[in-house]
Structure 1
Amino acid sequence: MSTQTPPEIVDSHCHLDFPDFEGEREAIIARAAEAGVTRMVTICTRLRQEPQVRAIAEANDAVFYAAGTHPMSAAEEPLATVDELVSLAKHPKFVGIGETGLDYHYTAESAEIQKDSLRIHIDAARETGLPLIIHARDADEDMARILREGYENGPYACVMHCFSSGADLAKAALELGFYLSMSGIAAFPRSTELREIFAAAPVDRILVETDSPYLAPPPHRGKRNEPAYSAHTAAIGAEVFGLDYPDFARQTSENFDRLFSKAAAWSGTA
């Protein structure tokens, strides 16, 4: 067994506060480091849970965090305000706005409140200069339109997290200078069309993530996902772009640093 240190990569989107990881977070972060995943962004999906998510980032140098109202929760939670998000973003390890977005697969009935919430998060991303983190499912046309309209009001940065939408939304996002993030879905055997969409994108706009505890890539599919497994998705990403794994790891880490510049500037002292 090789003792060579694996290339460093970043899990740009995980949910370490979820109950699936209770009592195991230190071990999970240690396993991630062993796999080369030396940094990760844990995502708060309901703003009332922000203190718990923040505490995980504060306790672990490798962990950064973002917060927003997930679209599937938009009808259940108080509508966020730009001021609230801007205030939260003052924390030194708060590095992104979201996740926010549109989900018409599970929660189409709340489409209008989802749109209102999304626009608030776009405004907060523009004001803070932090990247917007987008969840999109079965809402490609509305998503592309709202992202464009928001950009016309003033530029902002954005990542299409766990990208699994169609080629048109990918094109719209890339035209705005946004990034696409590869999750375990891109590693599923039947995801040929999705891999083709990624392959058509510039490699300097690609991130890697787990969205753990969900969407574990092979060989762990169907089991609980964790940040270490982003290495499996990155291995598929390297194949998609015709790169050696170390080169793809380096490229996606550079992409992360460019987009999540606040995390890149973190010195390890609050």
Structure 2
Amino acid sequence: MPDTPEITDSHCHLDFPDFEGELDRIIANAAKAGVTRMVTICTRLEQEPAVRAIAEAHDPVFYAAATHPMSVAQTPMARTDQLVALARHPKFVGIGETGLDYHYTAESARAQQESLRIHIAAARETGLPLIIHSRDADDDMARILTEEHREGAFSCVMHCFSSGEALARRALDLGFYLSMSGIAAFPRSSELRAIFSRAPIDRILVETDAPYLAPPPHRGKRNEPAFTAHTAKVGAEVFGLDYADFAARTQENFDRLFTRAAAWQGKGAAPA
């Protein structure tokens, strides 16, 4: 649909069982909604081959990989050289999602912090953006990101941002990006929308985190990349822009952060 503004779902999980056997239809639905690119995220490194295969089979799909903080205690600790090796693939566009989750897995906090620092080192070495998951860990997250950034710069997006104002400000001060998920579109998320409204428009991305967190009018149902458009329409309202302008700004932001995806020329292209 040529008149539909193009946007990118910067974070989804297309390898999850929720989408089994449906990927062609899911990607076609996304295209109809103007979602012409998506980044599918590998949360356990042993699953990287399956996630990579999805990106290889579908031109609009890129991928990233890491050990999710909630998986750190159950899986071998990632190694920087392992992540750097994975990053050689031309459709591998980010290091993540990594981070800290003290809501469900606070007992592994120390291991999560070690894992996060390993992933930061990989982001620094590869030049690819770090993709951060943070839940109920604002103070430690702000501290580690600040400490590590002093040791050497790296780029980063705070995926599915739903933390407090202080962490948002620290991330923005470090030059990082905030990503709006369906949470930002929930009726009761007025405080979160206010945090986004005070951020520079050139640091905003949109995502689904599909199959989770479907925005209205699909809340409570399986999320999918096409629904990025619903969150982006709310984002346009938050920033006082029309939808086409907001979509264009988030596209520029995505391209600036995910440079390898921006440079992709189609199947068979060489790494950027």
Offset, 1:176:
0.3
Instruction: Select the residue among 186, 189, 192 that pairs with 2:187.
Output: 189
**Partner residue in 2 for 1:116:** 114
SS of the aligned residue for 2:21 comes to coil
> What is the letter of the counterpart of residue 101 of structure 1?
G
Percent identical residues: 76
Q: Are 2:205 and 1:202 aligned?
A: no
In 1: Cα distance, 2:175 partner to 2:44 partner: 27
Residues 144-170 of structure 1: per-residue CA shift (max 9 Å, x gap): 000011101100000000000000000
Please, what is the CA RMSD of the aligned residues? 0.7
Return the TM-score normalized by structure 1. 0.99
In 2: Cα distance, 1:204 partner to 1:243 partner: 13
In 2: Cα distance, 1:112 partner to 1:6 partner: 46
Residues 203-254 of structure 1: per-residue CA shift (max 9 Å, x gap): 0000000000000000000000000000000000000000000000000000
In 2: Cα distance, 1:157 partner to 1:76 partner: 28
Q: Are 2:51 and 1:45 aligned?
A: no
Return the TM-score normalized by structure 2. 0.98
Offset, 1:63:
0.2
In 2: Cα distance, 1:242 partner to 1:77 partner: 44
> What is the letter of the counterpart of residue 85 of structure 2?
S
Offset, 1:5:
2.8
In 2: Cα distance, 1:197 partner to 1:191 partner: 10
**Partner residue in 2 for 1:59:** 57
In 1: Cα distance, 2:161 partner to 2:29 partner: 25
What are the within-5 Å matches in structure 2 for residues 244-255 of structure 1?
Answer: 244-255=242-253
Instruction: Select the residue among 100, 121, 129 that pairs with 2:127.
Output: 129
Q: Are 2:169 and 1:171 aligned?
A: yes
**Partner residue in 2 for 1:218:** 216
Gaps of 5+ in 2: none
SS of the aligned residue for 2:62 comes to strand
The aligned length equals 268
Residues 90-122 of structure 1: per-residue CA shift (max 9 Å, x gap): 000000001000000000000000000000000
Offset, 1:4:
6.0
